[in-house]
Structure 1
Amino acid sequence: MIGDVPGPSGAHVPVLKLGDVLLVTLQGELHDHAAEQLQQDIGEAITRSHVTGVVIDVSGVAIVDSFLGRVFAEIAATAGLLAARTVVAGMRPAVALTLVELGLTLPGLRTALDTDHALGLLAEPTSHLPHASGRRESL
């Protein structure tokens, strides 16, 4: 394990290293301070461990507000600058609808139905990694 980030009720969000990928699994509500700390910790973990991908599993998250949506986009942007790709996995339909209603497009952030699919996307060559919209684009 790379580190822990304070989560709801003092719990911690584990940041695990699986090969060349960081896996972050969110459960329940993530408060603003914990989300900002997670963003910082992921950037530091990428630098320290030289990973090439980050998977953020949000299957345990029922609500994503505009702040958390922006944090996801900022994590992806930071990871991209550090030569790592980010995939958000397990987004519930209600969460996706909320993000659309808030007008958050989350540029640079890829999505996958589950963690296995996210790991598969990260294993693909970068020129063939599809965006959430289904377009193919070089990175």
Structure 2
Amino acid sequence: MTSPRLFSILRQGLHLIASVHTALDDSQLVRFQADLVERIGADRARGVVIDVAALDVLDSFGSRTLRDIAEMARLRGAVTVIVGIQPDVAFAMVELGMDTGSVVTALDLEEGLAELDRCLAASPLPGP
């Protein structure tokens, strides 16, 4: 029997949508990071949405990994938006002094894609 997917990475135009389906341990988070950064280059993605709506906990390693993914994506030419942070997770992150750094966040996938479009409109693709 096949085990359920822990995360998925789908392409939508110039963007990648990465959804975390369940809580990931540290090694799974590192795998997610490696897979996503690889796909950014392979798909020549300009934007990345990371959907964490399924997570009811986000520890310091997880939030640092998300910041690292966003920085790696930026170095590869893509903008990252994190979406779906649950209210209880946001509350706990603030209480514990954790943050997402300079990574843009949005309420849900729809708002995340709109934010990517705004960011990319502000810095269009370089011309020939």
TM-score over 0.5 for the pair: yes
Decide which of 17, 21, 27 is 2:15's aligned counterpart.
21
> Is 1:54 aligned with 2:48?
yes
TM-score, length-normalised on structure 1? Answer: 0.80
> Is 1:103 aligned with 2:100?
no
| 1:57-76 map, 5 Å | 57-76=51-70
Matched residues in 2 for 1:39 and 1:120: separation? 23
CA contact (8 A) 1:77 1:108 kept: no
Matched pairs, number: 121
| Structure with the largest fraction of strand | 1
Percent identity between matched residues is 34
TM-score, length-normalised on structure 2? Answer: 0.86
CA contact (8 A) 2:33 2:65 kept: yes
* Relative contact order higher in (CA < 8 Å, ≥ 6 apart): 2
Unaligned runs of 5+ in 1: 1-8, 130-139
Partner of 1:93: 87
Q: CA RMSD in A?
A: 1.9
CA shift at 1:101, angstroms? 2.2
Matched residues in 2 for 1:12 and 1:94: separation? 21
